[in-house]
Structure 1
Amino acid sequence: MPPLTMTRWTRLPTEIRSIILEMVAENYRFKSEQYARAGYASVCREWQPVFEQRNFQRLVLDQERISDLEQVMSTNQRRYYLRHLFLRVRLNNYDCTVCKSKEDNRTIRNNNAIFSTAIWNLLVILSKWTGFAGSRRQQGLTLEIGAYSPGDSKHTFRDFHLEPDYPYQELKDLETHWEAYKLRADKLGLDSLNDPHHGWVNGSRDDVSLESKQRIMGTLTIKAKLPEFSAFSQTFPKVEIVTGLLIRRQFYRKIAAKSLRKLLRETFTCLRWFRHEAWHDVDPQQQSCFEKIYKSIILRNLPSTLRELYIFEHFNKILHPERSTRRANRPLGKALSKSSRLLENLSAAFLVDAEDFFANLWPTNEQNLNVIPWENLRKLALTSRLLHPLIGRGKINKMLINAGRAAAFMPKLEVMEIWNGGEGYACLFRYSNDDGEPKITWECNWGSHVTLDYTVVHCWANLPRHGQHPHGNLTTVVNRLPRRRKQVKTYAATIRHLKLRRSVLHLISDYQLSWEEYGNS
């Protein structure tokens, strides 16, 4: 700042200077000059703490910037500022000669090596942040992980969020609504996009080959036996400072289940919450293998400190034209039910089914005397394929009664939502108990009479927590959702009606899904 300007600045009252600095810091957006806010911190000592606190709240790294992290974050003060660390690994690029083919073994090995080295180097640095880990645990550090190739957004798939300069990285960026999407659409002229080689004809995409899908949906395995790790133990570094792990749907490539298991078992031993938004694999055999190992993660490898678990299995009509008819993995649903007893918040969409989660609650000769309660569970959201217009009401009623029986073992339950949605149909069952006023809500857009069976209402009304009133003091609400097909394209239409919407999907993921369904992407 020039001397004359600085003199004028120092003449302002301290309170006014503070307000101005706060306004400048808060006015930062994705379209601002990339490094402008970083420069503000170097103006003077008065400015430094104001802007450093925001500059270091969230950091985005690729593998080339990891080496600078230790030096940049050398002080405890900057580490205290850090809330969210996003490792966005950039894999090798590819061209049109291979964009329609599955990755070969050499490419897979190279990608695994790049990803493994990046993960390992970051964990080694974070494992050293132990001096104040205990005091930070309540606040915690969120680690987000994703991987992409620059070629993923240039060929058959032109998804905006696959581009390296995708602007919506912070929740604050969403305040601009669809601005960046609209600017991009205008710039590229998506309505007239014509690229027959990649399946685009006048803005529409033809059928996509299996190999093209497999190209962007690779699985990344962390290899601890690479030569550069030979001097270290094959046990992953223990990172106490990370209390939240985030893997969003933004990138199609998934982390191999066995690598995820190793991370949860050896590295992230202090996790308070884990959000995992993975894509359903287009290779049925690989998906089956993933689910088998994921079951062992759920049963045996979740950290004992975990209190919030959010799982979402994504799919869409282009990548998975038959996915909506597939039944969820039954053993996986039962495993999640068994291992969720210590959780406070749980959401699981599509990878498991509510029918399986509540399967053990149907009356038996023992009358469920050995049920272990969910003593701390407050919020629960599950999907079920049974909430579909082609399923008989008897099966639906049985599942909802099972859910009611389970709720009797959830003394702190505030909200439970069971939902489903797809092309042309949407359905939601909700139980809520706000300030001692229990209510069940049934909303769907199919059937000649939108009603809730008496046996279901009776079961929920007689929960012990509802007091001694005949049938309790339960309120029942029944609503019809929009029926027009244009308004109900995918499960996104149902998500908009969920009270636990923010548990089901990360806000940025929800934003992306909304644009893909209702926007012009």
Structure 2
Amino acid sequence: MGEVEIEVEFEVEFGVEVEVEVEVVQIGQQPKEEQEQQSSSRASWKILPQELKGQIFEHLEDSIQSGKARASVYAIVCKEWYNYFEPYIFRRLTLSIKRLNELETNITGSRCHFVQYIWLRFERSVQPDVTRVKFRHDLDALRFNVTIFHLFQILSEWPERIVGQPGIVLELTAFSAADPDHSMNDTVPDELEGVDLTVNSEPLNDIYEKEPCARRTLTEHERNQQFEVHPFSVPRKHPSITTLRLPVVKLITDLTIRRQMHISFFTHYVNCMMNSLPNLEFVTYEPLALSLFTALRGENQEAVKNIIANMPSSIRRLQVFEDRPEFYGDGIPPGYIYVSDKDGSLGRLVAEVSQDKEPEVISMSFIIDAVSFFSDFQTPQISRPHRKPGWLNLTSIVLTSALISPWRSAELPPLLISAARAACHMPKLEIMELYNFKWNYAGIFTYIHDSTGSILRWDSTWEWEFPPEVISVWKSVADVHGTQVFKHEENLIKSPGENEGGWNGDVLSLLRTKTTVVHPITYGNMMDGHNYV
């Protein structure tokens, strides 16, 4: 086989980090003299058949999506290559406060249509040259107010997109110069560095097959560091936030605030952002329940309530995962488990609003309990109130419940029966998952309906079987969904435990929920053992 060796250099433009790379492309058998002539001339590309050009572009696209290469490297080869790869160059942008002006200057005209992902990394203020770390919470609020307003103003002025053209994912993370090395900042696992998470790929699939890494014990110095920066993780509300009004941005269709050290910084900004994003289709929010004191203050519950109350009718997927310290067994006594939604009002609100907004996927982990979500169905209903039509577009729902534990198994049947009654009002339902895990146990209930039939599954680290009344009511659900085959099965899964390696929360990886409950980067970091604040 002949080869064309393409060696290119590309200057950094608009924060695109580019290295010198060599891409070798197989182009077929050719005489040696012709190879030498073509490899030394740019005109060689022009004589290639269009079908072969397409195959080469397809091969290079795969390498870009998997993070193995950068589009900016390929774009410098020739004008035709630049025209082809320009949309890839500007598809994903990483911004800081300093780069906002560059966004306004460099992304104009047709380039505005290429942008599909914006990652805003906000650097929090730390007073330099002091013995103990000093944080500037008020300055943080003022700087972020200006930054987020500036970004929304720029995006509000970009041209509208044609029907079928993807919108923009806005992802927010924060970090500071004082963050300890052992903390999970806004880092990206090595396996997902540069990978396009919107496209199915081998690196993305492999992250879910990765074995969890052990979480090592912190040194005394690291424990002191963790204690020192703890105030950074407590949500702070500045008076200016209450009056912040952001420009309306119709281009943003996905808001992502994934789990990382400073996620709580965005808690009080969720409401103003939701009010300015009328075309949201996807919301991913992973708040951190840090301790007894922050959990009792209810900031997470209030933030999620704002998300639910301001959810537009365009919503397709709602994904919330409240990360809790008791998952990892950090000396938390069994009795010290706090649920943000103590009275069940948030769970009932989610159930009611989701019937009106009609999302396709609901994934709510630990912030609410499935008991409150299905509370309307705790008793049989002959007819549904007119104002509650059911979940007409819902295809997948995953919830958690404290009842799923080895010590509360007797309370499981009423929950599963309530869930079945609700499922009868989900005509498009394909998957329902109810699960729970702590540092030493895990269990999951799954209902799957597809063209082959319907199946009930129970997987847990303790022995439990479906009672006849649960099987009967779910058989009725399968009949509503038009299945011809109905099965049920129970499986005992083995918990690795503390003495068999891995971190104490690695039971999460055993459940293998079919519906995604955390962001891929979050999952990768959890499997890498980054479970500290």
Q: What TM-score do you get using the length of structure 1 for normalisation? A: 0.80
CA contact (8 A) 2:122 2:173 kept: yes
Alignment of 1:101-116 (within 5 A): 104=135, 107-116=136-145
User: Which aligned pairs between 1:7-46 and structure 2 lie closer than 5 A?
Assistant: 7-28=43-64, 37-46=71-80
**Which runs of structure 2 are paired with 1:49-448 in the superposition (5 Å)?**
49-76=83-110, 78-93=111-126, 97=130, 104=135, 107-129=136-158, 131-133=159-161, 135=162, 139-154=166-181, 157-159=182-184, 161-162=186-187, 168=193, 170=195, 171=197, 174=203, 196-199=220-223, 209=227, 211-215=228-232, 217-219=233-235, 235-265=245-275, 267-282=276-291, 284-285=293-294, 288-294=297-303, 296-316=305-325, 317=328, 321=332, 325-329=337-341, 330-341=344-355, 342-363=358-379, 369-370=384-385, 371-391=388-408, 393-435=409-451, 437-447=453-463
Q: CA–CA distance in 2 between the matches of 1:385 and 1:197?
A: 36
Spell out the pairing of 1:491-502 with structure 2 (5 A cutoff): 491-502=505-516
Of the candidates 513, 516, 519, which is equivalent to residue 526 of structure 2? 513
> What residue number does 1:230 align with?
none
Deviation at 1:419, TM superposition (A): 0.5
How far 1:278 sits from its partner (Å)? Answer: 1.6
Larger relative contact order (C-alpha < 8 A, sep ≥ 6)?
A: 2
Deviations 1:244-283 (A, max 9, x none): 1111113433245442112112x11111111111211336
CA distance in structure 2 between the aligned counterparts of 1:479 and 1:225, rounded to whole angstroms: 50
Contact 2:329–2:504, Cα closer than 8 Å, also in 1: no
**3-state DSSP of counterpart to 1:279:** coil
Secondary structure of 1:303's counterpart equals coil
SS of the residue 1:151 aligns to: coil
Q: Name the CA shift for 1:222/1:411 in 2 (closer, same or farther; >3 Å).
A: farther
Structure 2 residue runs without a partner (length 5+)? 1-6, 9-38
Query: Cα deviations across residues 264-310 of structure 1 (Å, max 9, x unaligned)?
Result: 12x11111111111211336256533145235415522122212101
Give me the whole-angstrom Cα distance separating, in 2, the residues matched to 1:223 and 1:23: 53
Q: Determine the C-alpha separation between the residues in 2 that align with 1:169 and 1:350.
A: 30
Q: What SS does structure 2 have at the residue aligned with 1:112?
A: helix
1:492 Cα deviation (Å)? 4.5
Q: 1:198 to 1:515 in 2, by over 3 A?
A: closer
Q: Distance in 2 between matches of 1:13 and 1:467?
A: 51
Return the offset for 1:442: 0.8
Shift of 1:122: 0.7
Distance 1:340 1:55 in 2: 37
SS in 2 for 1:500: coil
**Would the aligned equivalents of 2:116 and 2:169 in 1 still touch at CA under 8 Å?**
yes
Q: Say if 2:322 and 2:367, in contact at 8 Å, map to a contact too.
A: yes
RMSD over aligned Cα atoms: 3.9
**AA aligned opposite 2:352:** K
Alpha-carbon distance in structure 1 between the residues aligned to 2:143 and 2:527: 32
Which residue identity does 2:520 align to in structure 1?
L
Change in Cα spacing, 1:158 to 1:373, as seen in structure 2 (3 Å) is closer
* Unaligned residue ranges in structure 1 (runs of 5+): 227-232
Q: Distance in 2 between matches of 1:69 and 1:224?
A: 25
Distance 1:96 1:165 in 2: 32
Letter in 2 for 1:261: N
Deviates more, 1:135-144 or 1:240-249: 135-144
Is the contact made by 1:95 and 1:151 (CA closer than 8 Å) also made in structure 2?
no
Residues 1:395 and 1:511: Cα distance change in structure 2 (over 3 Å): same
Identity %: 22
